[in-house]
Amino acid sequence: MVEAGDRITSNRLTHAEGSEFACDRVLLGTDGATTVVGAPAIEKAQARCRVLRHFRGPKIDVYTYQSKKATHRWLGHRQDLTDMEVVELEVPGLKTTKAEAAPKPKKKARAKTEEKVEEPKAEAKPKKKAAAKPKAEKKADEPKAEAKPKKKAAPKPKAEAKPAEEAPAKEAEPKEE
């Protein structure tokens, strides 16, 4: 729903920037107390609009991919758009509304009931830098400690082979005849 003075963004129109045009497809009109509904549009109703600018919308990235086909591609798209302002709404049976010469304020200004009392700001204290630690000085007159040779690991004693116990030999049993 729009009113006179509202700004609308739509797909790119063929009208030049700064020109005015009439939009004759008004679907619904109201003046607060009375509402007129069209089926599908209200007859002899129109909205006069002024083209403010033509521009392009944000870029939309599209990635297409087909698995197991080694096919993929990147596409980009920016929609062409038109920014326009509704100057006048004419709906039969309703009051005609025209946009004011001055643009509408977006936000209402609040009345200030109390004045701000400025308090003096405390001065920032300078930060103290940490005292620099003295670096360890190398003593040139002291000899360096000698590196100790590494001990070789003693070989582990191999497990002694146990003598195999001799199993009693089975004697062949005589066959019964």
Q: How far is CA 117 from CA 21, 93, 112, 120, 122, in A?
A: 52, 54, 13, 10, 15
Query: Quick one: pLDDT at residue 145?
Result: 66
Has residue 47 got a pLDDT over 70? yes
Peptide bond into 40 cis (omega under 30): yes
- The answer, yes or no, to whether residue 157 has pLDDT greater than 90, is no
pLDDT score, position 144: 65
Mean pLDDT of 87-116: 65
Percent of the chain with pLDDT over 90: 32
R_g of the chain computed on alpha carbons: 47
pLDDT at 117 over 60: no
Decide if pLDDT at 62 tops 80: yes
More confident residue, 79 or 99: 79
Band of pLDDT at residue 111, cut at 50, 70 and 90: low
Mean pLDDT of 77-83: 96
Q: What's the rounded mean pLDDT across residues 103-111?
A: 51
